[in-house]
Amino acid sequence: MKTITSALVAAALALPSFGFASTAFVPPAPEIAGKAYYLIDYNSQQVLAARDPDSRIEPASLTKLMTAYLTFKALKEKRLTLEQTLTVSQRGWKTEGSRMFLDPKVPAKVEDLIKGMIVQSGNDACVTLAEAIAGSEDVFAQVMTQQAQKLGMKNTQFKNATGLPHEGHYTTVHDLGILAASLIRDFPEYYPIYSMKSFTYNNIQQPNRNLLLYRDPNVDGMKTGYTDTAGYNMVTSSHRDGRRVISVVVGTASPEARAVESSKLLNYGLQFFDTPKLYAANARVSDVSVYKGDAKVVPVGFASDVYATVAKGQAAKLKADMTTTQPLIAPIKAGQVVGKLVVSLDGKPLLERPVVALKAVDEGNFFSRLWDSLKLLLGWK
């Protein structure tokens, strides 16, 4: 392995331009009146506060974040279209709990079903979409669980598309944080639906149950949930000054409580932390020597932007160490992982990201490969 010095991060940061506050004081996370909570910075993926993040909880209608994810995925893959109409089954029509009041005699547009699912939390919309995508809600639930595993939600299992109580239907606040961030990242074109304050269908207007949409101009989503056994749950996203934080609060006592407790977490994350961009996606950070290739070096960097979340005033203390695989032997594909970056603060690792080749390097000719083989054998550089 070859280590590239931490001076690289100083150049990338352009520290004087940030104008951070001089203080680095970060108080403890606020007391949250709920069963569990989780607060994450969207850009850096760093956890800012948590309590019982991996304890199993009943998600209630937060389940619909995954129902929406798979619906958006079906749209992206052109298995559904927004203008397409779907027949409402008897099962969908009769699903209990919150609903958008579908009529089994009137086909519903996919676009309306999505808004009914997100804004009105319609269980009838969820079942209708699930049946259209997977043939049945039971099969759809299996696909939901498979997708959860792909996203890294290791402690989640779905049994339905709605979040109605069901044995074996569970998740964690950690996993819900992963899901919320994935939904925003993978389907930004549909995320604005989560900021809609009301939706009217079948001449029935229903308000969005996310009270923070009406109170905080920085909040632009995401989803509420409630059952007698789960209590009042909410996943919320807030953005300010180029930053976005996502909170998950579950098991509160009332709709007001879940809004107040979520607001505490969001404001804590936005007030006491900063998230500078350290490196831009696909930007050359360094050149690394290549053996047996048609080029002697390959530019390396990162497949996505690299951010770090730190207490205000602490960015100047960030240090980075980048190690690359040695010897690096062609052929090398563009995007191939060739090392890792570790960013630390006060000697403690803060985040780790893979370093990738920004260009492909093919094998060199016979003579160059032979010469590099000799160099490697003799330990020459």
Is the Cβ–Cβ distance between 158 and 148 less than 8 Å?
yes
Q: What is the DSSP annotation of 313-345?
A: T-GGGEEEEEEE-SS-BS-B-TT-EEEEEEEEE
- Is 359 marked active-site? no
- Is 286 marked active-site? no
Angle formed by the axes of helices 137-151 and 173-186, to 10°? 90
User: What pLDDT sits at residue 313?
Assistant: 86
Helices (DSSP H) in the chain: which residue ranges? 7-13, 64-76, 90-94, 110-118, 123-134, 137-151, 173-186, 212-215, 255-271, 366-378
User: What pLDDT sits at residue 379?
Assistant: 78
Rounded-to-integer distance, Cα 13 and Cα 315, Å: 8
Write down the pTM of the prediction.
Answer: 0.90
User: What pLDDT sits at residue 1?
Assistant: 55
Angle formed by the axes of helices 123-134 and 137-151, to 10°? 90
Rounded-to-integer distance, Cα 142 and Cα 67, Å: 11
Q: What are phi and psi of 85, to 5 degrees?
A: -105, 140
* Candidates 35, 44, 61, 292; catalytic one: 61
pLDDT tens profile 328-362:
999 999 999 999 999 999 999 999 999 999 999 99
User: What pLDDT sits at residue 9?
Assistant: 43
* Candidates 44, 89, 98, 121; catalytic one: 121
User: What pLDDT sits at residue 372?
Assistant: 74
* Candidates 64, 115, 223, 292; catalytic one: 64
Local structure of 186: helix, strand or coil: helix
User: What pLDDT sits at residue 326?
Assistant: 87
pLDDT along the chain (381 residues), means of 10: 46 36 74 98 97 98 98 98 97 95 96 98 98 98 98 98 97 98 98 98 97 98 97 97 96 98 98 95 95 94 96 92 92 96 93 96 88 81 70
Q: What are phi and psi of 300, to 5 degrees?
A: -125, 155
- Is 64 marked active-site? yes
User: What pLDDT sits at residue 3?
Assistant: 54
